């Protein structure tokens, strides 16, 4: 992430703390998609991920005065999100997990609609299936691999920021991510990649 | 500690790198088709945010309630001083005294007036209902009171934003 964006985040936080609360919406809009995708890797359910994402932003708002502007806002945000996602996983333990395809983002079933006007519904379906396969494979990864893949590919954090967040040397992060993807590849069908 | 990145790079084959690169591209493609948040998500989060502890500690957060209280006090003072422009000081004092007495005494006398009727009604109600129903009634009353207080608090919090 560019340095200016980091400064911008810190500036937004400062202004919110000075009473310009409307800037919080800008911060949320800036990170919501990446955070939601990152959290989705843990919850594996769009509805739950939405709730946890909102919960994280509300937690962030409540603790905004404890943010240290010497560090990146995104690192702080993803650290809190990681903890919240793990808490959610703990709470979910024991709950029944359906083996059916989960509903899409609107809560609709994923049956093929014959009136679908998208260019190639069959291709779309096969991509959705592939995504499902990858999601399931990611879920089978060890926790540390899953977290790294989620941070890098779903949270879209640069390697440097992951290193900062996890307190690891940059080389270790790259190395572990390489191994995590290798482990993921081993879990996927040979024709997937 | 694991070996640093360049060392790993030397140990793996070019084919592994190629497969890794392909998987990276695939993961990015999959992310692009993953579910999205509703368009009004940010607005929803903003409207759902609580009154944060750091807001309580900041003076600007109290600007709205302070302005409202100051306005009320100023209006009361204006009403209090208004008779001075029309009446002599002695008459004003007498009017203030009467107003004050009425303001304080009227509610008390009203309560005293209806108290016997209220007590009688409560007594007959108590005799009519079973102990369980009485408890339930008490519970409903408490819940209603708590809800009212909660609603008023929430409104106060919103007003201070």
The reported pLDDT for the residue numbered A97 is 47
| Contacts for B158 with CB less than 8 Å, ≥ 6 apart | none
CA B106 to mean position of chain CA atoms: 33
Chain A residue with Cα closest to B3 = A172
> Which two tokens mark B113?
């007036």
The reported pLDDT for the residue numbered B159 is 46
> Which two tokens mark A101?
């395809």
Contact A183, A158 (CB under 8 A): no
Contact A154, A41 (CB under 8 A): yes
Q: DSSP secondary structure string, A112-173?
A: PPTT--SS-HHHHHHHHHHHHHHHHHHHHS-HHHHHHHIIIIIS---HHHHHHHHT--HHHH
Would the CB atoms of B30 and A134 count as touching at under 8 Å?
yes
- Rg for chain B (alpha carbons), in Å? 34
Would the CB atoms of A170 and B5 count as touching at under 8 Å?
yes
Specify the higher pLDDT residue, B49 or B135: B49
Domain with CATH 1.10.1740.10 in chain A: 1-93
Q: What is the mean pLDDT of chain B?
A: 81
| pLDDT score of B2 more than 70 | no
Specify the higher pLDDT residue, A118 or A6: A6
Domain with CATH 1.10.10.10 in chain A: 118-193
Query: Residue A2 gets which letter from DSSP?
Result: -
Q: Work out the pLDDT band at A12, boundaries 50, 70, 90.
A: very high
Q: A104 vs chain B: nearest CA distance in angstroms?
A: 7
Chain segment A68-120, per-residue pLDDT in tens: 988 899 999 999 999 998 888 888 765 544 444 444 444 444 444 444 455 56
Q: A3 vs chain B: nearest CA distance in angstroms?
A: 24
Would the CB atoms of A181 and B16 count as touching at under 8 Å?
no
Q: How far apart are CA B51 and CA A182, in angstroms?
A: 46
Query: Residue A69 gets which letter from DSSP?
Result: T
Q: Which fold has domain A118-193?
A: Arc Repressor Mutant, subunit A (1.10.10)
Chain segment B88-143, per-residue pLDDT in tens: 878 888 888 888 888 889 888 899 999 999 999 988 887 776 667 667 777 878 88
Which residue is listed with tokens 């806002």? A73
Q: How far apart are CA A35 and CA A64, in angstroms?
A: 17
CA A135 to mean position of chain CA atoms: 12
Kindly give the residue spans of alpha helices, DSSP state H, lying in chain B. Answer: 5-11, 14-32, 41-48, 53-56, 63-86, 89-128, 131-159
Say yes or no: ipTM exceeds 0.90.
Answer: no
CA geometry: angle at A132 spanning A126 and A135, to 5°? 145
Would the CB atoms of B31 and A153 count as touching at under 8 Å?
yes
Specify the higher pLDDT residue, B122 or B152: B122
Q: Work out the pLDDT band at B154, boundaries 50, 70, 90.
A: low
Which of A50-54, A111-115, A132-136, B97-101 has the lowest average pLDDT?
A111-115
| Contacts for A159 with CB less than 8 Å, ≥ 6 apart | A152, A170, A173, A174, A177
Chain segment A147-170, per-residue pLDDT in tens: 999 999 999 999 999 999 999 999
B27 at interface of A, judged by CB pairs closer than 8 A:
yes
Specify the higher pLDDT residue, B28 or A60: A60
| Contacts for B2 with CB less than 8 Å, ≥ 6 apart | A171, A172, A175, A176, B8
| Domain A1-93 is found in CATH 1.10.1740.10 | yes
Specify the higher pLDDT residue, B85 or A112: B85
The reported pLDDT for the residue numbered A154 is 92
């Amino acid at each position: 992430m560019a340095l200016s964006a980091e400064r911008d985040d810190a500036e937004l936080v400062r202004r919110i703390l000075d009473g310009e609360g409307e800037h919080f919406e800008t911060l949320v809009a800036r990170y919501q998609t990446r955070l939601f995708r990152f959290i989705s890797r843990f919850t594996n359910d769009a509805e739950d991920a939405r709730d946890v994402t909102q919960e994280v932003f509300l937690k962030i708002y409540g603790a905004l005065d404890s943010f240290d502007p010497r560090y990146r806002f995104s690192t702080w945000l993803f650290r809190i999100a990681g903890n919240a996602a793990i808490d959610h996983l703990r709470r979910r333990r024991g709950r029944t997990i359906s083996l059916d395809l989960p509903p899409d983002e609107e809560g609709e079933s994923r049956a093929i609609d014959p009136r679908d006007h998208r260019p190639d519904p069959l291709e779309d379906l096969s991509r959705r299936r592939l995504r499902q396969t990858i999601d399931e494979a990611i879920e089978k990864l060890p926790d540390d691999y899953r977290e790294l893949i989620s941070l890098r590919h779903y949270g879209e954090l640069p390697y440097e920021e992951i290193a900062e967040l996890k307190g690891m040397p940059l080389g270790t992060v790259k190395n572990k991510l390489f191994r995590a993807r290798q482990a993921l590849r081993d879990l996927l069908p040979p024709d997937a990649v | 500690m694991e070996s640093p990145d360049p060392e790993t790079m030397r140990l793996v084959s070019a084919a592994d790198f190629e497969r890794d690169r392909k998987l990276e591209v695939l993961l990015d493609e999959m992310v692009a088709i993953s579910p999205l948040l509703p368009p009004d998500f940010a607005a929803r989060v903003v409207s759902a945010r609580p009154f944060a502890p750091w807001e309580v500690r900041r003076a600007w957060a109290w600007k709205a309630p302070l302005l409202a209280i100051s306005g009320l006090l100023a209006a009361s003072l204006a009403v209090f001083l208004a008779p001075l422009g029309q009446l002599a000081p002695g008459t004003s004092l007498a009017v203030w005294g009467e107003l004050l007495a009425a303001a304080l005494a009227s509610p008390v006398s009203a309560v005293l007036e209806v108290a016997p009727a209220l007590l009688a009604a409560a007594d007959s109600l108590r005799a009519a209902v079973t102990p369980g129903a009485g408890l339930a009634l008490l519970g409903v009353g408490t819940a209603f009171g708590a809800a009212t207080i909660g609603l008023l608090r929430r409104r106060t919090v919103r007003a201070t934003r």
